[in-house]
Amino acid sequence: MNAKNQQDYLAVQKNWRALVHQTNAIKTIELPLYLETHKRLFSIFQPNPYYLLLFDLYQGQMAEISPEITDILGYPLEKVNMQLFMDHMHPADQAYFLSFENHAAQFFSHIPFDKIDHYKVQYDLRLKKRDEEYARILIQYVLLNDADNLCHSFHIHTDITHLKPDGIPTFSIIGIDGEPSYCNIQQVQVFTKSNDLFTKREWDILKCITEGKSSKQIADQLFISIHTVNCHRKNILAKAKVKTPMELLNKTIREGWM
């Protein structure tokens, strides 16, 4: 990590530490413990290769990583740490990463504590694999509210290289359980709600579409008719300016809608 990146990273780490309320409450936790609890937040991209990660906010280091990271990036599990992560990030994406994490820390420091677990952070960037090729990784994480303290974030990192081979990184903060989403946030410290792109019902149906559910499954889940679902699907395609569900999924990823 060069001197400039090291200085910038330390500034981001300071923001992460500020979110930790009681350093003496930090305890060791296991990665699989949180998988079932938070899996629903990440179900959209689980068909693609992914690995799990538990991040220590106070130390600014990776506490645990699942072994699938070796299949995706090629590095031995015991060699993977924050130093490797930063050193192998695409040079053009490093500034985005630092900005995204600063934005996330700012956002979480200004919302009520009991709302923190109602949001997930989502952005993408490129990481150099062991074979020297770059993989575009979609990073999604939630902060863990444990005994009125924030000590860790729980991540899923998904390889979306085939879905987004080029383009600049995008950053979103996704609301859960009725909270507003802030999609494709620009490099300014302003959070603009994205709820006006689709109606609330269309957002519900878009989420189901990205989870691979059929019109009948969506109708059963939302207690509406298949005809109503299909009408909403047509409207969603039109508003997204795409023609097929696959194009809709790809644009959802590129624009950070989910």
Q: Are residues 62 and 166 in the same domain?
A: yes
In Å, the largest CA–CA distance within the chain is 59
Rounded Cα distance between 205 and 207, Å, is 5
Higher pLDDT: 121 or 31? It is: 121
Please give the span between the terminal C-alpha atoms of the chain, in angstroms, as a whole number.
Answer: 32
pLDDT score for 117? 83
Residue 248: half-sphere exposure toward Cβ, Cα within 13 Å: 21
Arithmetic mean of pLDDT over the chain: 81
Rounded Cα distance between 153 and 100, Å, is 15
Q: With contact defined as beta carbons under 8 Å apart, do 215 and 226 qualify? A: yes
Residues above pLDDT 70, as percent of the chain: 78
Rounded Cα distance between 166 and 150, Å, is 34
pLDDT score for 83? 87
Nearest one of 145, 152, 96, 150 to 124, comparing CA atoms: 96
Q: With bands split at pLDDT 50, 70 and 90, how would you rate the model's confidence at 258?
A: low
pLDDT score for 150? 75
pLDDT score for 196? 63
Q: With bands split at pLDDT 50, 70 and 90, how would you rate the model's confidence at 25?
A: very low
Q: HEC states along 225-242?
A: CHHHHHHHHHHHHHHHCC
Rounded Cα distance between 197 and 217, Å, is 24
Q: With bands split at pLDDT 50, 70 and 90, how would you rate the model's confidence at 128?
A: very high
Q: Are residues 104 and 225 in the same domain?
A: no
Averaged pLDDT, 173-198: 69
Q: Does the pLDDT of residue 139 top 90, yes or no?
A: yes
Residues of the domain holding 209: 200-255
Length of the chain measured in residues = 258
Question: Worst-scoring range by mean pLDDT, 41-45, 46-50, 169-173, 200-204?
Answer: 41-45
Say how many domains are in the chain: 2
Q: Does the pLDDT of residue 72 top 80, yes or no?
A: yes
Is 188 inside a domain boundary?
Answer: no
What CATH number is given to the structural domain containing 223? 1.10.10.10
Tokens of 83: 């130093």
Q: With bands split at pLDDT 50, 70 and 90, how would you rate the model's confidence at 106?
A: confident
What CATH number is given to the structural domain containing 52? 3.30.450.20
- Partnered with residue 123 across adjacent β-strands are 139, 171
